[in-house]
Amino acid sequence: MKLAVIAAAALAAALSLTACWSATATRTAASPTCHQQYEAWKHGVVGGGFAALRSAFTAVASARDSQDVPKLTAALKQAGAAASQLSATPPPRCADPKGYYGQMLAKVTAAAGDAKAASGLSALIVAAAPLRAVPGIEKTLKAELDKTVGASR
């Protein structure tokens, strides 16, 4: 709920700044473009959430490679927490109409959920398997964002 309030405030701030900077601003502000909505979301709402998710991915890979069960368990838990936080504040619908963002986070959440029931290294590696799909979904999401909000994002 707190993130929703922050998201609304970030979007309102972006709209206010856009209206103030525009030489042709009128008393009624025009609807923000998809690019403006996306930028307000990206810089205002999700902030360090992506950094936390990337950090968790790095930790998962490192723990998997070193076969460290406690670290792998913790890293998958960290990735799930970051994905849950990011899921609470999706990007504007115009930016991701096909829902790739949600699909990507669902894979991370599934891996974290499966890790809770996993026992031992091999079970944790199997639990982490949905993470293999994330880079492909992320690539597709980036291509979609290039079309919907512009390549200069």
Q: What is the pLDDT of residues 33-74, one digit of tens each?
A: 999 999 999 887 677 888 899 999 899 999 999 999 999 999
Q: Which among 88, 83, 91, 71 is positioned nearest to 109, based on CA atoms?
A: 83
pLDDT in tens, 87-113: 999 999 999 999 999 999 999 999 999
pLDDT over 60 (residue 21): no
Vertex 17: Cα angle to 85 and 36 (nearest 5)? 55
Distance CA 127, CA 121 (A): 10
Query: For residue 72, which of 52, 86, 84, 58 has the smallest C-alpha distance?
Result: 58
The pTM (predicted TM-score) of the whole model is 0.75
Please report which residue ranges of 67-99 form alpha helices under DSSP H.
Answer: 69-87
What whole-number distance in Å separates Cα of residue 135 and Cα of residue 40? Answer: 24
The token pair that represents 88 in the structure block:
């609470």
**Dihedral sign from CA coordinates of 145, 10, 46, 107:** negative
CA dist 25 and 40 (Å) reads 19
Helix, strand, coil % over all residues of the chain, rounded to 5: 75, 0, 25
